[in-house]
Amino acid sequence: MRVVNDSTSNHSNLQSVMEDIMNPEQRDAFQLHWSQTTSGDVSAIGEQSAMSAMAEVLQRPVRVITALETSYVDVLFLPSQPLSTTVPVVPVVIGAYGKDHYVRIDYVIPEVPSQAATSCGVELHANSPKSGTAEEGEGFIWEKTDGGHSLQFKTTINSLTEKTCLPNKTDSRWATLTTVAFTDCTVDLRGTEDVPTLEVLAQNMHQDLITLENVLTLIPQRSRVSKIYLAGNKLRQIPDGLGLLPNLTCLSAPKNKLKKIPAGIPDLGYLTVVDFNRNHLTKFPEVLQHLPLLKKVFLCCNRIKSVPTGLLPKMKNLTVLAMDKNHLKGVPQDIVKCSNLVELHIKGNPLSSMPRMVFSMPSLRLLGVDRKVWEGFRKHNDDTRYRASFDVCFDKCEHMGYDGKQQDTTEATGTTIQKAEDKLKSQLGEEHLPKQGFPSEEEYEQKQGCPSEQDQEDLPISPSAEMSLTTHVSSMDDYNSTYRRSIEDPGEFWREISEEFHWETGPKGKFVEHNFDPNVGDVFVRWMPGATTNITYNLLEKNIREKCLGSSTALQWQGDDDVETREVTYDHLKTLVCRAANMLKAKGIRRGDRVMIYMPQTIEQVVAMLACARVGAVHCVVYGGATAEYLADRVKDSKCTAIITADFAGKDGGRQPVKTEVDRALKLCGREHFVRFCVVVRRVGVGDQDTWPKATGSQESSVPWCDGRDYWWQEEMERVDDECEPEWMDAEDPLLILYTSGSTGSPKGVIHTVGGYMMYAATTFKYVFDCGNVTNKVHFCTADLGWVTGQSYVVYGPLLNGVTTVLLEGDPLKANRIVSMVRRYSVTSLYTTPTAIRHMKATSGSEANYKLDTLRVVGTVGEPIATSTWRWYRSTIGGDHCSVVDTYWQTETGGHVMTPLPGATPMKPGSATLPFFGVEPAVLTDDGTEMVGPCEGHLVFKSPWPGMMRGINGKPEKFTSYFQQFPGYYYTGDRCRRDGDGYYRILGRREDRVSIPGAMGQVFNQLDVEATLLQHPDVEDVAVVTTDPTDDTGECHSGGYDNWYIFVTLRQTACLHAQTIFTNLREMLATSLHVFTPPSHIHCASELPRTWSDKVLRRLLRKVVLNDLDLGDFHVVANLKSLPKLFRQCRDMQTSCQPIDMFTKPRTMPS
């Protein structure tokens, strides 16, 4: 609709209208016609004779709408000749007078008589022998509606054909038909008389909507329809038959699954608006250039990577182009030739830079772009060439709330910017979604004055602008949109993700099935059943053939002595994996067999894992430094048929026997194992291991040997070919067994499957360790491959993404090795534990300045990290420019379930922030009630994700136990706190819960106390436990704070001043937390008991306090020697007449 608004004078207003919409002959005819009925000059707009003359000349109705104080008067001037119904004309507003009334040239179709309507309604079915003979009850039902009548069929919309029985053609209800309903779809005529809208709404439609032609022939008013609304119907194509809508000017089809636009769209020659927001388009629809009247194009939230050069200039009437949240890297240079383009929206795209050509577009009035892109450009381009003559919009603009059912198709009079509020709730209930905007530190201080220390901790820290420009998820709007989609339709979301991988065959049946309620039936989770793939094909052949990464480095390895190094390319890795796979097949390993891998962190360890996956065997990796007893338990539980190990491991410059421990473990198993053979990797005496020299004999003097069972790895590898076809595995076939760390009791063998684990490990790595447009991405994770962190984010995650991954043998904490590794290999993403970070902090000195410029992302995993440690990590290791990803997940989850995303998520120290895509958390009370808003309670998940475990090896009841306490939910066993921004802070295990009262009714848990004490410069480690642990229901019967203890590890240089330090710690708790209930004891421990994966064993610390020697599975303790010393120390204190109590109650309660 064209608007002419000139209120200077009625005369000039009408004259300008005439010049705009009439050709010279029409203007002369208008003057003549008007002069025959009156005299004088052209009279005012709205005057009857002038309007009648205009209607006669243009052969179009002229409508005058006058605004009164409380109502409107609508007068229609019709030409004397009958109206033509063949040539549609878009309504044109031609004037305004004092904002009281306006006039518009309209196109009105005469009302169709009943007989004509009837004829029109059954025209398609005239040749049908059954047409017009059916009555009500024979497959259809007439119903009276507010606006007319509804015709309801008892079939699907695709079943409507020429042979379908219809009501009698003489039925008068045909003339007022507005709704045609089917069992799976409804076609409804709505809207105003001026802009009638046809809405198509699907309801559980199992087939794609093919055509609307047969339906449209039933609606007599179809020739008046100017807009059709096809939103939210999961359409994969635009249905045929739209040519029956001659006046169609707006095609709105958002929220579907369209991957392309049909070539027949140009037949709809009067289209002025197309809306394909929120679809699956990967290419700009080039057919749009053939729509001569097209003015507005909405393509937001698709996957379009580029706009073809030369296309936009052909769209000469284009005024609005909205392409927010696509994959655009830039805008074509020839967009400057779009002389009528008024609005351009490109927010939420990974733009490599600001498109400079927009400054050469005089018609541009509004540019929608990300704030960081704009500010980054302005920072470096502050000359007169780039002075904007247009408005810049950083927030949601009008088109982002575009709704084909409500938005008018009138043109904007000048620049129209509507700043939409951030949505707090979506259709599925977004009350738990985080707020979309966060203040900067300056804005926060201006608003709040001088923030408190707690406010400073909770103040979000925005990621760097440079990071946001190139990451996959570049803003919180982008995150919220993607997360919302992953929760609303997880099957479709992960189906799209699955297209990035190779599948030999597709899934059969439902894409995802699950049951989380043991009361309903067996608990199960299934993703993509029936689909077949091989994970090694996706990380080897796919990277080599499709990404041309054959010569790129896959693995960088450094030995314990920091001298021996090896580098393996993807081509070389494929050769090694195929040889090892052939070796296993030659030894009789087949699909489904279990293989134990127990060896130091070497190239061969990775090759052994991938070789098992290549042939379909299930690998079970055990930490190479574990004891024989620890290994024996897992050999028996896994029922493995083979063991791959090494003769020795490097340790502290020397060597540690490994094969000896294997023999001891097998001896401990007795007859309870199924091991048929053992392959030993030679480490001692081998220089360049790529040459793999033969052993001099069947055994060496220092290596125990069993002929007929033990074989040298190097010798067996030389006997086989270097080509091995992958075994195609079902997506739900087991890939690996991982034993939990044992921090909460007996270890469990968690089973992960091929398809789901592959998708989830690769996807979480892609987004969480997203370093942007860095050319050579190098990832360094300090975890051992015996833990899920090592397998997901040392091996599978990086290699599936074609990234170089760094392996380190030995202790990463000695001699500041982490920092030296980052420098040596130009690491771009670092992933380590809070313990390692605290150790680096304790040994770095106050003036440490590492200048690790290559780092882009630094991560932490394993346990909650203290705020002070987090800040040191970001400032000293991350250089204040890195994104810190404080990740939360478990062995059972297979990958990250809560984590910040670099470039998008504002970070909070010590907070795991927000859930990953497809993960739906909830917080429950002890009785299972789900809480909303800020709260503290049990952390659960409401729905499955692909990477979650499928069972516990040999213990189905253990798997069910994860869902029994809160039926319908997966219970993590952890407690959490959710703040007002929707951010989650993990508080630790349920059984480690300690509630410590403070002043003013506050209650603190053990993490609050530990975080406070860790701020002391001489405190290296701390753990708080209670002798009143919670039971299985999560309730603490003794209050939880009557007897609580603090274990503190001090810096080596500070041990002589322990008493002074304890006094300082008392003051810190009294002043910072106002804790007035003193602990029973403070213990100065040289080291705390930890698992092999570096987690503090608080359950053992409780046993130390209680002098309980029943330790359960104590083989999970990595530093077992720490326990006897702690027992002796605590026993001495508890039997002493003067117990050590370094805390006293404050003399006065704090105000």
Query: What average pLDDT does the segment 1110-1123 reach?
Result: 71
Of the listed ranges 91-100, 314-323, 435-444, 484-493, the least confidently predicted one is: 435-444
pLDDT at 61: 74
Supply 589's token pair.
């390993």
Query: What average pLDDT does the segment 1003-1021 reach?
Result: 76
pLDDT at 212: 78
Judge if pTM exceeds 0.85.
Answer: no
Question: Is the separation of the CB atoms in 559 and 538 below 8 Å?
Answer: no
Q: What is the DSSP letter of 617?
A: P
Tell me which long-range contacts 544-551 makes (C-beta under 8 A, separation of at least 24): 544/570, 544/571, 544/574, 547/802, 549/802
Q: Domain limits of the chain?
A: 10-105, 571-727, 993-1135
pLDDT at 1133: 55
pLDDT at 698 over 70: no
Query: What average pLDDT does the segment 843-853 reach?
Result: 73
Between 3.40.50.300, 3.30.300.30, 3.40.1410.10, 3.40.640.10, what CATH number should domain 993-1135 receive? Answer: 3.30.300.30
3-state SS string over 128-196?
A: CCCCCCCCCCCCEEEEECCCCEEEEECCCHHHCCCCCCCCCCCCHHHHHEEEEECCCEEEEEEECCCCE
The CA distance from 895 to 759, in Å, is: 10
Query: What average pLDDT does the segment 671-688 reach?
Result: 81
pLDDT at 694 over 70: no
Supply 1077's token pair.
């209930």
The CA distance from 479 to 240, in Å, is: 35
pLDDT at 831: 97
Query: What average pLDDT does the segment 711-729 reach?
Result: 96
Query: What average pLDDT does the segment 413-435 reach?
Result: 34
167 C-beta neighbours (distance < 10 Å), count:
23
What SS3 class is residue 92? Answer: strand
Q: Distances in Å between the alpha carbon of 937 and those of 888, 999, 1083?
A: 16, 22, 29
pLDDT at 523 over 90: yes
Pairing state between β 829-832 and 857-860? parallel
Vertex 735 angle, CA 732 and 741, to 5°:
120
Query: What average pLDDT does the segment 517-540 reach?
Result: 96
pLDDT in tens, 56-108: 777 777 777 665 554 556 667 777 665 554 444 445 555 544 445 555 565 44
pLDDT at 849: 67
Report the greatest alpha carbon distance in the chain: 125
pLDDT at 713: 97
pLDDT at 230 over 50: yes
Q: Which residues contact residue 700 at a Cβ distance below 8 angstroms, ignoring those fewer than 6 apart?
A: 647, 684
Confidence grade of residue 458 (pLDDT, cut at 50, 70, 90): low
Confidence grade of residue 795 (pLDDT, cut at 50, 70, 90): very high
pLDDT at 193: 63
pLDDT at 361 over 70: yes
Mean pLDDT, the chain, whole residue set: 78
pLDDT in tens, 642-676: 999 999 998 877 888 999 999 999 999 988 889 99
pLDDT at 41: 45
pLDDT at 148: 78
Higher pLDDT, residue 975 or 1055: 975
Of the listed ranges 194-208, 903-917, 1028-1042, the least confidently predicted one is: 1028-1042
pLDDT at 227 over 80: yes
Amino acid at 560: D
Looking at the DSSP assignment, which residues form a beta bridge with residue 275? 252, 298
pLDDT in tens, 1080-1096: 677 788 888 877 667 78
pLDDT in tens, 975-999: 999 998 999 999 888 766 666 655 4
pLDDT at 74: 63
pLDDT at 56: 74
Higher pLDDT, residue 491 or 388: 491
Upper half-sphere CA count for residue 376 (Cβ side, 13 Å): 17
Of the listed ranges 358-362, 454-458, 952-956, the least confidently predicted one is: 454-458
3-state SS string over 775-815?
A: CCCEEEECCCCCCHHHHHHHHHHHHHCCCEEEEECCCCCHH
The CA distance from 254 to 234, in Å, is: 9
**805 sits in which H/E element:** strand 804-808
Higher pLDDT, residue 635 or 1129: 635
pLDDT at 121: 37
Supply 477's token pair.
């709007």
What do you get for the CA distance between the two ends of the chain, in Å?
67
238 C-beta neighbours (distance < 10 Å), count:
22
Q: Is 968 left (phi over 0), alpha (psi -120 to 50) or beta?
A: left
Query: What average pLDDT does the segment 841-863 reach?
Result: 83
Of the listed ranges 151-165, 239-253, 327-341, 1124-1138, the least confidently predicted one is: 1124-1138
pLDDT at 962 over 50: yes
CA 1020 to chain centre: 35
pLDDT at 21 over 90: no
The CA distance from 976 to 983, in Å, is: 10
482 C-beta neighbours (distance < 10 Å), count:
20
Q: Distances in Å between the alpha carbon of 552 and those of 568, 804, 857?
A: 9, 8, 21
Query: What average pLDDT does the segment 534-563 reach?
Result: 95
Query: What average pLDDT does the segment 899-925 reach?
Result: 94
Query: What average pLDDT does the segment 1025-1054 reach?
Result: 60
The CA distance from 978 to 458, in Å, is: 12
CATH code of domain 571-727:
3.40.50.980
Confidence grade of residue 149 (pLDDT, cut at 50, 70, 90): confident
Higher pLDDT, residue 468 or 164: 468
The CA distance from 511 to 686, in Å, is: 49
pLDDT in tens, 601-658: 999 999 999 999 999 999 999 998 888 988 999 999 999 999 999 999 988 778 889 9
